[in-house]
Amino acid sequence: MKRIFSLLLSVLMVLSLSSCAENPIPEEPSEPEKTRFTKSYLDYFDTASTIVGYETSQEEFDAKCAVVEEQLEHFHKLYDIYNHYEGVTNVYDINKEAGNAPVEVHEDIIALFEFCREMYDLTGGKTNYAMGSVLRIWHNYREEGNFDYFSAEVPPMEMLEKAAEHCNIDDIIIDEENSTVFFADPELKVDVGAIGKGYATERIAQTLEEMGVDNYTLNIGGNIRTIGTKGDGTNWVAGIQNPDLTSEETFILKVSFSDLALVTSGSYQRYYYVGETKYHHIIDPETLFPKDTFASVSILTPDSGLADAVSTACFNLSLEKGMELIESIENTEAMWVEPDGTIHYSSGFEKFISE
């Protein structure tokens, strides 16, 4: 009897072990390893654009880039102030026709113009997209000066002041229901250069986020917008350009961040010389001339369009007023660089500095 019991026990143990072998405890499936991919473009917003993303395959990355490129082309054509495109009513066409009658436009132009109005109110008019008549004068003089250094001139103040009479943002009449834009002042012109690229970058980032995209960064002509972290879960690291182009140090410092935008406005980006004096492209709405208080202003904030608008405003504000503006905006930090290299930070900027 004892032998029979032992035999039965042995059989049960064998069956038990056999069952475990045939039905092992399932392991957690491991996620496919992601690889870093990069793609660049030169055709949009008159600048270089780069997309960096972590994907499991080249095909997945290319599919995301196709979405980005389609959006880049869309916004580039809509927000262009210098060129007309067949089949598109853009900002160039609005400037040409809206002083005569309401112009029907794409909803993405209405959205941009409304955002520009918000930024005007937020910055106390320091970022004003209705300044096109003044900015076009500076653009033409800068283009001529860069073409022929010896004939470079500064626009006459009388000409600038006359143009400034046509920069009232309230003269831009937006009819959201009918999707039209009308200028109550026929001589008013809009210029979205201080906001358009950053706004487009944010819209593209939001499109990718809605698709579930993660581990990406967009660099649209220096407007950086990160989506999530890098593939290994660490922050993205970006260098902030040293405004002193004669220095051997390319970057004045580096910052580490994720799910944020980084935008810099600087006197070193677009400029020309009249004699020994440099005149950059950031024009103060009050003086109608470039200011030399700062060499650059960098903004960190979740929204790329906001960063673009606020960097321009802070460039034209005093340090004290700029600090007040930054501290009033949630999750937003700034760094100011003076022409002599002196740096100022908002209260929370330094925590983003990378060693």
Q: Categorize the per-residue pLDDT at 191 as very low, low, confident or very high, splitting at 50, 70 and 90.
A: very high
Domain count, the chain: 1
| pLDDT score at 17 | 34
Residue bearing the bigger pLDDT, 20 or 333: 333
Q: Categorize the per-residue pLDDT at 136 as very low, low, confident or very high, splitting at 50, 70 and 90.
A: very high
Q: In this structure, is residue 102 part of a structural domain?
A: yes
Kindly report which listed range (21-35, 95-109, 189-203) carries the lowest average pLDDT score.
21-35
| pLDDT score at 103 | 98
Q: In this structure, is residue 145 part of a structural domain?
A: yes
Q: In this structure, is residue 346 part of a structural domain?
A: no
| pLDDT score at 25 | 53
Residues spanned by the domain of 107: 91-183
CA separation for the pair 52, 61 (Å, rounded): 9
pLDDT, tens digit (0-9, with 9 covering 90-100), for 79-88 = 999 999 999 9
Q: At 28, list the tokens.
A: 């957690």
Q: In this structure, is residue 35 part of a structural domain?
A: no
Q: In this structure, is residue 142 part of a structural domain?
A: yes
| pLDDT score at 27 | 54
Kindly report which listed range (30-34, 56-60, 64-68) carries the lowest average pLDDT score.
30-34
| pLDDT score at 149 | 85
| pLDDT score at 125 | 97
Q: In this structure, is residue 213 part of a structural domain?
A: no
Backbone torsions φ then ψ of 185, nearest 5 degrees: -105, 110
Q: What is the mean pLDDT of the chain?
A: 92
Q: In this structure, is residue 160 part of a structural domain?
A: yes
pLDDT, tens digit (0-9, with 9 covering 90-100), for 152-183 = 999 999 999 999 999 999 999 999 999 999 99
Q: Categorize the per-residue pLDDT at 29 as very low, low, confident or very high, splitting at 50, 70 and 90.
A: low
Q: Residues 189, 132: contact at Cβ < 8 Å?
A: yes
Q: At 1, list the tokens.
A: 């009897």
pTM: 0.90
| pLDDT score at 26 | 53
Residue bearing the bigger pLDDT, 197 or 355: 197
Query: What is the CATH number for 145?
Result: 1.10.3980.10
| pLDDT score at 220 | 96
Radius of gyration of the chain (CA): 27
Percent of the chain whose pLDDT exceeds 90: 88
Q: In this structure, is residue 314 part of a structural domain?
A: no
